[in-house]
């Protein structure tokens, strides 16, 4: 008898598995590589909403939990996965500069926003109104982290590269039977793939497709993350991830010419250097109508749980949300009503 089956090994599945590892629980992960949201993500951790210069929901607390979470994974997997990189927010006009300075004076935001204007010294970029610098931000190598963690789990025979077949679940009293595996609990963490999950597909997970292009530009020589209407994220070796797009209509997994054109149009407004496009990636963000995560336990089946809705700022959110779900299941700590799937009970 296992303690847990975990379905899906994106950022949410990994975050829950890390809880289970820390608490010495037994588990098996199922992953079919049907969704790519975590694998294509920019990997930026940033508590500030850069459009309005406000703090994201509970981001200060989540930031602290996330820092120690990723540091612990780095040391466990013996891999360098976190780089501290400031984000430079390109101002569009003087009004935005003024809004930034106002935000700097607010108590919690002051911790993250530098009150100095940063002048651009990079000839490859056109930044007439200068930058504001966000502190305590950076980038996680999510793809490397997921692959290295999956290898570690394969070594423990706890990772199955196969689709989870929902119609093979038999719910028993106090446990769940799946094929020849018995488990006390199942946690579903399939991202947008939850649309095929008969236990939870009533939840209002909308999905928002995001695409990046990967460019090579030898003259750009950028070390920080730059945010204008799009991000430019340095990857090393003169490569940069540029984007992302937001599309809540198209739910296909493929990259599109329209998105590439949209990104290039925005990039050319402030990049004065030649570049080549070397790749393009796409994923569906698991986003929710009210922009809050979807966490909790099925109201008819106490052994069946969900960890989802991490469509935006998943890197900051997932470690805290996984901890909340674990504490709710194992210690009966009530979930915050804002994230509990009970808020959508009427939709069942």
Ligand X SMILES: Cc1cc2nc3c(=O)[nH]c(=O)nc-3n(C[C@H](O)[C@H](O)[C@H](O)COP(=O)(O)OP(=O)(O)OC[C@H]3O[C@@H](n4cnc5c(N)ncnc54)[C@H](O)[C@@H]3O)c2cc1C
- CA-CA distance, 253 to 337, in Å (whole number)? 32
Among residues 4, 16, 27, 30, which is the contact residue for ligand X, using CB under 6 A?
A: 30
Locate 127 and state its tokens: 């930044």
Q: Which two tokens stand for residue 245?
A: 């797009």
Q: Which of residues 152-211 bind ligand X (CB under 6 A)?
A: 163-164, 189-193, 210
Q: How far is the CB of 31 from ligand X (least distance, A)?
A: 5
Residue 63 contacts ligand X per CB under 6 A = no
Which one, 271 or 282, has the nearer CB to ligand X? 282
Count, residues in the chain = 348
Report the alpha-carbon distance of residue 92 to residue 274 in Å, rounded: 23
Q: Which member of 5, 17, 19, 42 binds ligand X (CB under 6 A)?
A: 42
DSSP per residue over 98-122, as a string?
HHHHHHHTSTTGGGTEEEEEEPP--
Query: Interface mask (CB under 6 A) for ligand X, residues 108-147, using x and -?
Result: ----------------------------------------
Does 310 help bind ligand X (rule: CB under 6 A)?
yes
Q: Which is nearer to ligand X, 219 or 256 (CB)?
A: 256
Q: Report if residue 34 touches ligand X, rule: CB under 6 A.
A: yes
Least Cβ distance, residue 280 to ligand X (angstroms): 11
Please report, for residues 23, 69, 78, 149, 347, the alpha-carbon distance to residue 156 in angstroms, rounded to integers and kept in the order given: 16, 21, 17, 11, 40
The site that binds ligand X (CB under 6 A) totals a number of residues, namely 41
Token pair, residue 76, equals 């466990």
Quick one: which of 21, 31, 141, 262 contacts ligand X (CB under 6 A)?
31
Tell me the backbone φ, ψ of residue 164, rounded to 5 degrees: -85, 125
Minimum distance, C-beta of residue 119 to ligand X, in the bound complex (Å): 26
Helices (H), the chain: 11-22, 37-40, 59-77, 94-104, 142-155, 257-268, 314-331
Residue among 130 and 298 whose Cβ is closer to ligand X: 298
Which of 13/132 has CB closer to ligand X?
A: 13
- What are the distances in angstroms from CA 264 to CA 128, 168, 215, 274? 20, 46, 10, 12
Report the interface residues with ligand X, using CB under 6 A.
7-13, 30-35, 37-38, 40-44, 163-164, 189-193, 210, 212, 244, 283, 285-286, 308, 310-316
């Amino acid at each position: 008898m296992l303690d847990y089956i975990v379905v899906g090994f994106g950022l949410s599945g990994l975050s829950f598995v890390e809880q289970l590892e820390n608490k010495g629980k037994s588990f098996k992960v199922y992953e079919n590589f049907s969704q790519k949201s975590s694998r294509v993500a920019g990997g930026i951790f940033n508590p500030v909403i850069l459009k309005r210069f406000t703090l994201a929901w509970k981001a200060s607390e989540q930031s602290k939990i996330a820092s120690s979470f990723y540091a612990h994974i780095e040391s466990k997997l013996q891999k360098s996965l976190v780089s501290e990189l400031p984000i430079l927010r390109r101002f569009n006009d003087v009004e935005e500069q003024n809004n930034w300075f106002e935000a700097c004076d607010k108590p919690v935001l002051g911790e993250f926003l530098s009150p100095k204007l940063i002048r651009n010294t990079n000839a490859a970029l056109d930044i007439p109104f200068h930058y504001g610098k966000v502190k305590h931000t950076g980038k996680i190598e999510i793809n490397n982290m997921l692959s290295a963690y999956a290898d570690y789990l394969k070594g423990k025979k706890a990772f199955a590269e196969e689709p989870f077949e929902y119609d093979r679940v038999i719910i028993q009293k106090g446990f769940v039977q799946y094929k020849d595996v018995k488990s006390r609990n199942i946690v579903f963490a399939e991202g947008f793939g939850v649309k095929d999950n008969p236990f939870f597909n009533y939840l209002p997970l909308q999905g928002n497709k995001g695409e990046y292009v990967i460019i090579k530009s030898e003259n750009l020589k950028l070390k920080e993350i730059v945010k204008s209407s799009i991000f430019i994220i340095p990857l090393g070796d003169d490569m940069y991830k540029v984007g992302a797009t937001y599309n809540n209509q198209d739910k296909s997994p493929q990259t599109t010419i329209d998105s590439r054109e949209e990104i290039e149009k925005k990039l050319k407004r402030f990049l004065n250097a030649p570049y080549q496009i070397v790749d393009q990636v796409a994923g569906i963000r698991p986003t929710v109508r009210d922009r809050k995560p979807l966490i909790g336990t099925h109201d008819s089946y106490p052994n069946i749980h969900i960890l989802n809705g991490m469509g935006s700022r998943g890197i900051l959110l997932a470690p805290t949300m996984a901890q909340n779900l674990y504490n709710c299941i194992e210690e009966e700590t009530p979930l915050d009503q804002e994230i509990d799937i009970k808020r959508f009970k009427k939709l069942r």
